[in-house]
Amino acid sequence: MRYGTRAMLDLANFYGRGPVLLRDIAKRQEISIKYLDRILSTLKAAGLVKALRGAKGGYELNRNPSKITLAQIVKALDGRTELVECVGNRDYCKRINFCIMNDIWSQLSNAIEAMLDSKTLEDLVNSDKNKRNLADSMYFI
């Protein structure tokens, strides 16, 4: 999930400028090309990125960064946002009807999903730029 979100942020930073080479993403994000290829294949299957072949090929987002949420990325890569299996699958545990921890895990999972749904790649691009500008303007003695 960490590497997938970093790769998506990288693609979002180049949105609208054409396809980005796999090796360039891998180098900037310090991810092995082989692993990144698997991640991007998963994201492609989920409809979040597209791959373009040929001399000017590479990867790019399938839609505007403002239309892709962190929740969509996490679900594409991990299949779910729930913390524990019993939250998303009530048949997973026979204790579900009287387990107080299921209530806690459900509330926490709902809060995480709400936060991930509220953040788009565009939000991350803007935060990333602000954070880099702040770091560049810091003066150390």
The whole model's pTM is what? 0.85
pLDDT at position 70: 97
Residue 117 has pLDDT above 90, yes or no: yes
Rounded to whole angstroms, how far apart are CA atoms 86 and 9? 31
Local structure of residue 20 (DSSP, 8 states): B
- pLDDT number for residue 123: 97
What percentage of residues in the chain have a pLDDT greater than 90? Answer: 67
* Distance in angstroms (rounded) separating the CA atoms of residues 11 and 21: 10
Domains and CATH numbers, the chain: 1-125 (1.10.10.10)
- Give 74-114 as a DSSP string: HHHHHS---SSHHHH-TTS-TTTTT-HHHHHHHHHHHHHHH
What is the pLDDT of the chain when averaged over all its residues?
Answer: 91
Q: What is the pLDDT of residues 11-21, one digit of tens each?
A: 999 999 999 99
Q: First and final CA of the chain: distance in angstroms?
A: 37
Nearest to 23 by CA among 5, 42, 9, 10: 10
- Answer yes or no: are the C-beta atoms of 58 and 22 closer than 8 Å: yes
